[in-house]
């Protein structure tokens, strides 16, 4: 399989699980907790609705599922006909959707503010590593010549957002895997809010809460070997290299430092809280390749951000850039 159709996530099967199912909840008239499970942007997906009657829940979930499907047509690398796949193939896309334009505009803004630590053109590095290990799974890291050729295509400044056209360099391929899940999470959360829901938890690979549960309790986001995050508003996004290792021995992983083309090694895991899931998603990717000194230097550029960084000795550091939208514990 070509590396522009990555195997680390499944192709979307959203409508196979489109019907919401009732979960036992408080014994109140016409109220129940609802849970929907499916996939979105190639990842497992869950939406929890609190304090809502079954008929309304089914209607809201159907609207959310249709919106996820529509957004996949713009942003996904997992659909052959998506706008992003067509842009990668043709290097130009005329009359792009508003969602692709907004997602790419955000990607370029984060690239600029992070000094290039986040870069949507790193797809060439993914492809180079996948091709290398496909031929020799037990080989060590790709040699410098392979990396240098791929890095020649990595430069966010060559991506052009024109009034009615998007253009890339002739050798470039883009990926929105660094913020796409967060972008879709935001859109779904905003859609459900616009339909009157006030007690919602959306997990489409990144998590966002609209308010606490109806009884005031927070939504709990589990962590390995640590107390769960308690989320009442805003979003969480986590990046971890072990989530997608490359090569039979795990010699590399998918979180590449655009500056040297190699898998980043500073951290075991980075989690970011921000009012926007898309921003949290992008920042968790950017800060994963940053040293602690770089994180401290960059943090003032991203107001309303909390960062938890776990190193390879399982020591956790936290940075806060107030004000923070929403609360998390």
How many domains does the chain divide into?
Answer: 1
CA distance 192 to 186: 10
pLDDT digits (tens, 9 = 90+) for 271-294: 999 999 999 999 999 999 999 999
Q: Is the pLDDT of residue 328 over 80?
A: no
pLDDT of residue 323: 67
SS (H, E, C) the chain: CCCCCCCCCCCCCHHHHCCCEEECCCCCCCCEEEEEEEEECCEEEEEEEEEECHHHHHHHHHHHHHHHHHHHHHHCCCCCCCHHHHHHHHCEEECCCHHHHHHHHHHHHHHHHCCCCCCCCCHHHHHHHHHHHHHCCCCCCCCHHHHHHHHCCCCHHHCEEECCEEECCCCCCCCCCCCHHHHHHHHHHHHHHHCCCCCEEEECCCEEEECCCCCCCCEEEEECCEEEEEECCEEEEEECHHHCEECCCCCEECCECCCCCCECCCCCEEEEEECCHHHHHHHHHHHHCCCHHHHHHHHHHCCCEEEEEECCCCCEEEEEECCCCCCEC
- Give domain status of residue 48, yes or no: yes
Write phi, then psi, for 316 (nearest 5 degrees).
-110, 135
- Give domain status of residue 42, yes or no: yes
pLDDT digits (tens, 9 = 90+) for 183-213: 999 999 999 999 999 999 999 999 999 999 9
- Give domain status of residue 40, yes or no: yes
- Give domain status of residue 241, yes or no: no
CA distance 277 to 206: 7
- Give domain status of residue 187, yes or no: yes
CA distance 93 to 166: 5
pLDDT of residue 281: 98
- Give domain status of residue 316, yes or no: no
Write phi, then psi, for 39 (nearest 5 degrees).
-135, 150
- Give domain status of residue 204, yes or no: yes
Cβ–Cβ < 8 Å for 176, 107: yes
Q: Greatest CA separation found in the chain?
A: 67
pLDDT of residue 42: 84
Tell me the mean pLDDT in the region 102-111: 98
Expressed as residue numbers, the domain containing 61 is 14-79+181-212
pLDDT of residue 326: 53
- Give domain status of residue 132, yes or no: no
């Amino acid at each position: 399989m070509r590396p522009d159709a990555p195997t680390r996530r499944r192709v979307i099967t959203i409508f196979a699980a489109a019907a919401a199912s009732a979960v036992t909840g408080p014994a109140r008239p016409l109220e129940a907790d609802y849970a929907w499970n499916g996939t979105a942007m190639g990842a497992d997906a869950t939406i929890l609705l609190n304090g809502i009657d079954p008929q309304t829940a089914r209607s809201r979930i159907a609207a959310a599922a249709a919106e996820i499907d529509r957004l996949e047509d713009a942003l996904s690398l997992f659909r052959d006909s998506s706008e992003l796949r067509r842009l990668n193939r043709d290097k130009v896309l005329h009359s792009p959707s508003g969602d692709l334009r907004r997602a790419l505009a955000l990607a370029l803004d984060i690239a600029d503010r992070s000094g290039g630590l986040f870069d949507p053109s790193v797809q060439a590095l993914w492809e180079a590593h996948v091709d290398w290990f496909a031929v020799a799974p037990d080989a060590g890291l790709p040699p410098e010549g392979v990396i240098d050729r791929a890095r020649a295509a990595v430069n966010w400044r060559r991506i052009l957002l024109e009034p009615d056209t998007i253009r890339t360099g002739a050798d470039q391929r883009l990926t929105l895997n660094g913020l796409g899940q967060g972008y879709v999470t935001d859109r779904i959360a905003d859609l459900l809010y616009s339909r009157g829901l006030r007690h919602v938890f959306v997990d489409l690979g990144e998590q966002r809460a609209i308010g606490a549960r109806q009884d005031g309790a927070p939504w709990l986001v589990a962590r390995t070997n640590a107390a769960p995050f308690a989320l009442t508003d805003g979003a969480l996004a986590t990046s971890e290299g072990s989530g997608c290792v490359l090569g039979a021995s795990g010699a590399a992983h998918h979180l590449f430092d655009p500056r040297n083309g190699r898998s980043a090694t500073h951290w075991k895991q980075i989690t970011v809280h921000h009012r926007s899931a898309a921003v949290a998603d992008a920042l968790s990717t950017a800060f994963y390749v940053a040293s602690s000194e770089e994180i401290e230097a960059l943090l003032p550029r991203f107001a309303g951000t909390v960062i938890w960084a776990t190193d390879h000795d399982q020591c956790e550091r936290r940075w806060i850039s107030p004000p923070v939208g929403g609360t998390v514990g």
